[in-house]
Structure 1
Amino acid sequence: MQLKSYFCLAIALCLFFESQYGAAEDNWIELFNGKDTSGWTNPYEWGQAEVVDGEIHLTADKKFFLVTDREFGDFVFEGEVKLPEGQANSGFMFRCHVEPNKVYGYQAEVDGSDRNWSGGLYDEGRRQWVWPSLKGRTTDEKLLEYEQESHDYFKRPEVAKAFDRDGWNRYRITCKGDSIKIEVNDVVTTDIHDDVDSQGPIAIQHHGEKGQTYKFRNLRVRELE
């Protein structure tokens, strides 16, 4: 009887953890329905967003962002982006601020240049680069060490090669309190603490190159308790 009781308890625990994990996996909120841009707003007087073959295509002559109508605080976000050929730059904004013709705040960088800081943390419209930090802006020894550490991090082979310049790239952004982690194609590119913003919309970016089309798909978020 005792062995049977242990066996039943083990089965019950397995079912419990499986149900808990399944519930967490099922709690994703689809931010894009694949058909139209319902749930998204363009706060700019310029820029166009259209849905083509289950993808959001952004075109513009000036930089603009397409923004979710909902705000999120602690969450896991996933989305895919594909840059156009030539000069290109984009990003996923999160916990951001929205005003007429202006979006600013945290941005997971999508860098199409040879510098390849994709997956870095950029503070759009405020402090600029947070990780990697922009060198030469301080004489504080501890900050200089931090800047050097951040630059060395993006020179690591696994980080430098994480982003596919010519293909689709999957981003995962995890925010919990002041903890911010960004992953590009399952490679951790940013894992820091920063407490400037705690809540806000999510947004996708067109950098403003005339004639270029930026593509996004599979956009979803799971809120964390």
Structure 2
Amino acid sequence: MNYSLRKNLFFLSGIALFSCAQEPKSEDNWTELFNGKDLSGWKAVAGTAPFEVVGEEIIGTSVAGSPNTFLITEATYGDFILELDLKIEDLTSNSGVMARGQFDPAAREGKGLVFGYQIEADPTDRAWSGGIYDEARRGWLYPLELNPDAKSAFKMGEYNHYRIEAIGNELKTWINGQEVAYLVDDMDKTGFIGLQVHSIRDSTHAGRKTYFKNVKVQTENLISQPFNKDLFVVNNNLNKLTDYEIAKGWRLLFNGQNSEGWKGAYKETFPESGWSVSDGVLTIAKTDGSESQNAGDIVTTEKFSAFDLAFEFKLTEGANSGLKYFVTLSEGNKGSAIGLEYQILDDEKHPDAKMGIEGNRTLASLYDLIKADKQPRFMKPIGEWNKGRVVVYPDNRVEHYLNGVKVLEYVRGSQEYKNLVAGSKYKIWENFGEAPEGHILLQDHGDEVSFKNIKIKTLN
């Protein structure tokens, strides 16, 4: 067979395979990915859990000794809207749906590894179904601590309707019509769609089944379904807000280009040295590790009362810094200005983490008052970006988050709060932390620390 003929046959066979994976199309622009009869257009990878077709359902069954197993489409997809129904009947049957999934067949000594965006199916009390997990790569991107109202959407023992939109760099999810997660991220632009049977730790859980049906996709003339609720957006763009965020009242506190909106604490202008802006990142340079004795702290020119504040920070080894709020600059003290502090610290290498009371000076804690209840799996290593968040509600409830997970909460001015202050270094300041409004401060503690994606929304 000559080269030209082989090339033409290869091309035609490729069209046939692609058509097989895509057909049949319905009149409303949906493509049925599961024909209701067999697994044409799909293949199982990365594990040994079996998938079978029974009636019009795809059933995946857990097996002992297998890693996560995925039934993935042979075709790959860029922008799409996916809908399917998923049912879990046992609390041990964690599952999920891969969107723009990736597969490395050579990984794990040739056994293969699936990684990428996974939309969770979580039957446990944690109830993070519809949240977005980066399988075998970065971990949780959108845990449902960011949208706790959506924890009730998933129903055990029933079919749950999933809608997943992957359009441009935006990934949005719904379960049973309820808005769940909103992620802006550009790591994967194309990939397969996949259905998961999770590994099991206990062999007695073998034989648990997960059910899928009505799997369909749109790839043309996509019309995004708007979110009506006021959802927090995990936005991994650099210092850029989505139209949705702007419409919901968010704005940047750091524009990524210069120091506009900030000045030195107890100064009229921004520090001439020490703090720098480069490539969209705000950085305090390393000096001698002393508190506010060099370039000094910086504060917002505005004051804030009730707000939702999100930011990203990156520590160097052994570094110390902090984000303070309700800073009034009225105390006339030396050193760092007084305020409630979201601690930013290398817990392992900085000695301040071992001081205080029961860890209340560790990362994400309310400094010297309340320890952050955090798990290592939700902490990024030194040198990587972590996401911080402080929410102050109009009724004085306050929450700290680290990488999307709430790590503490308290009520400003409550008796419990006053008791904590009375036992802390802040007891010398009358009504500490109870001002009706104040500046937001980034601390110079003589160590190199960087910040980006600082955004705020005022709350009424």
Alpha-carbon spacing, 1:24–1:124, altered in 2? closer, same or farther (3 Å): same
Residue 41 of structure 1 and its aligned partner are, at CA, apart by 0.7
User: For the structure 1 residues 73 and 113, does the alpha-carbon distance in structure 2 shift closer, same or farther, using more than 3 Å as the test?
Assistant: same
- Aligned partner of 2:97: which letter? F
Which of these residues, 11, 36, 39, is aligned with residue 38 of structure 2?
A: 36
Does the aligned pair in 2 maintain the 1:90–1:111 contact within 8 Å?
yes
**What does the per-residue CA deviation read over 1:117-161, in whole Å, with 9 as the maximum and x for residues that have no partner?**
0000000000110002xxxxxxxxxxxxxxxxx62422x2xx121
TM-fit CA distance, 1:103:
0.8
Q: Which residue of 2 aligns with 1:195?
A: 186
Per-residue Cα deviation, 1:69-111 (whole angstroms, up to 9, x for no partner): 0101101000111113231210000101012331110000000
Residue 9 (structure 1) aligns with: none
- For the residue of structure 1 that corresponds to 2:145, the secondary structure is helix
**1:68 is matched with which residue?**
73
Alpha-carbon distance in 2 for matches of 1:153, 1:165: 19
Whole-angstrom distance in 1 between the partners of 2:27 and 2:219: 11
- In the TM superposition, what is the alpha-carbon distance from 1:67 to its structure 2 partner? 0.3
| Structure 2 unaligned blocks of 5 or more | 1-24, 106-111, 201-205, 222-460
In the TM superposition, what is the alpha-carbon distance from 1:24 to its structure 2 partner? 9.7
Please provide the CA RMSD for this pair: 1.8
Q: Please give the secondary structure, in 2, of the residue aligned with 1:202.
A: strand
User: For residue 114 of structure 1, what is the aligned residue in structure 2?
Assistant: 125
| Counterpart for residue 141 of structure 1 | none
Q: Aligned partners of 1:185 and 1:117: how far apart in 2?
A: 14
CA distance, structure 1, for counterparts of residue 102 and residue 216 of structure 2: 19
**Which residue matches 2:175?**
184
1:91-102 to 2 correspondences below 5 Å = 91-100=96-105, 101-102=112-113
Partner of 1:90: 95
The question of 1:213 aligning with 2:209 is answered yes
Residue correspondences, number: 183
Residues 167-195 of structure 1 deviation map (CA, whole Å, 9 limit, x = unaligned): 11010000111111000011110112111
SS class of match (2:100)? coil
In structure 2, the residue corresponding to 1:42 is in which secondary structure? strand
Task: Name the SS of the counterpart of 1:151 in structure 2.
Answer: helix
Structure 1 stretches of 5 or more lacking a match? 1-22, 133-149
SS of corresponding position for 2:129 = coil
> Could you say what secondary structure the match of 2:192 adopts?
coil
TM-score where L is the length of structure 1: 0.77
Contact (CA 8 Å) 1:43, 1:99: kept in 2 or not? no
Greater helix share, 1 or 2?
Answer: 1
> CA distance change for structure 1 residues 161 and 71 in 2, over 3 Å: closer, same or farther?
same
CA distance in structure 2 between the partners assigned to 1:84 and 1:69 by the alignment: 28
Moved over 3 A (4+): none
Structure having the higher Rg: 2
Shift of 1:45: 5.5
Residue number among 153, 161, 164 corresponding to 2:147 in the alignment: 153
Of structures 1 and 2, the one scoring higher in RCO (CA 8 A, sep 6+) is: 1
